[in-house]
């Protein structure tokens, strides 16, 4: 856990600024070199502090890395907390109509898409999370992501898809559909170079992000309505043929 050394005047604020600077530097160096390749000395130098200062705030390299994960989780929750709470409320209503379920899902997806635009920290986040999701972080950080985000998010998205398809939330078909729909925005991060090349873009600014958002939300709305029609018609011919 981070610690703060107060001083007679303005110590807490300066401590927060120092801590934030260390996390910003750590995100970049962990993203570029990985957990093993980035040293605490390098992170401290990049942040403009001495090594003992880094150890004071974070104890060790694992503590710095965990602080990076927690920082990203905080930013994610700023974007997704409201739509997740709304989704939980909607799912608690047994008689909620399909259009409200669809609108709720689209609000969640819209929050996800908000993270694909390029920003000064965007590259660092992208590289850091690519390594983290691949399992290259220290022990316990994947579990932290799971506990603080993935379980709750997964519960509402599979719950919504299950209601729209008439299948249980833990049915394999529900899980596959949910993963497929949720991952649409990821292509703009994972395959960013290819996407930019095809579109002839140099980057994804907020204007381009909004264009992507509108296309993906429209496409997803069509998909969700089609799933409702399939449910109401008693099933898909394609699905029956594949069984």
CA-to-CA distance for 186 and 156, rounded, in angstroms?
19
Q: Could you tell me the two tokens for 133?
A: 């999701």
State the DSSP code for 186.
G
The superfamily CATH assigns to domain 68-233 is Tetracycline Repressor, domain 2 (1.10.357.10)
Left (φ > 0), alpha (ψ -120 to 50) or beta: where does 10 sit? left
Domain residue limits, the chain: 1-59, 68-233
Residue 194 has pLDDT above 50, yes or no: yes
pTM of the predicted model as reported, rounded to 2 decimal places: 0.83
Task: Please give the average per-residue pLDDT across 84-107, as a whole number.
Answer: 96
The superfamily CATH assigns to domain 1-59 is Homeodomain-like (1.10.10.60)
pLDDT band at 105 (very low <50, low <70, confident <90, very high): very high
Residue 116 has pLDDT above 80, yes or no: no
State the DSSP code for 9.
T
pLDDT of 9 reads 43
CA distances from 122 to 31, 131, 192, 210 (A): 11, 14, 12, 16
State the DSSP code for 59.
S
């Amino acid at each position: 856990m981070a610690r703060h050394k107060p001083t007679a005047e303005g110590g807490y604020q300066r401590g927060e600024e120092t801590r934030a600077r260390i996390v910003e530097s750590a995100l970049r160096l962990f993203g570029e070199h990985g957990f093993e390749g980035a040293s605490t000395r390098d992170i401290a130098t990049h942040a403009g502090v001495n090594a003992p200062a880094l150890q004071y705030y974070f104890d060790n390299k694992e503590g710095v890395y965990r602080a990076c994960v927690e920082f990203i989780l905080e930013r994610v929750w700023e974007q997704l907390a409201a739509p997740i709470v709304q989704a939980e409320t909607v799912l608690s209503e047994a008689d909620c109509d399909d259009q409200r379920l669809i609108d709720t899902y689209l609000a969640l997806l819209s929050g996800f898409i908000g993270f694909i635009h390029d920003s000064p920290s965007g590259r660092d986040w992208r590289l850091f999370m690519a390594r983290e999701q691949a399992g290259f972080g220290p022990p316990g950080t994947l579990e932290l992501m799971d506990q603080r985000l993935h379980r709750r998010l997964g519960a509402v998205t599979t719950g919504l898809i299950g209601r729209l398809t008439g299948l249980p939330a833990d049915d394999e078909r529900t899980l596959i559909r949910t993963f497929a729909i949720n991952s649409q925005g990821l292509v703009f991060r994972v395959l960013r170079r290819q996407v930019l090349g095809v579109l002839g873009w140099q980057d994804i600014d907020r204007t381009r992000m909004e264009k992507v958002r509108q296309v993906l939300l429209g496409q997803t709305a069509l998909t969700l309505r089609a799933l409702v029609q399939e449910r109401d018609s008693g099933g898909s011919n394609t699905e029956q043929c594949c069984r």
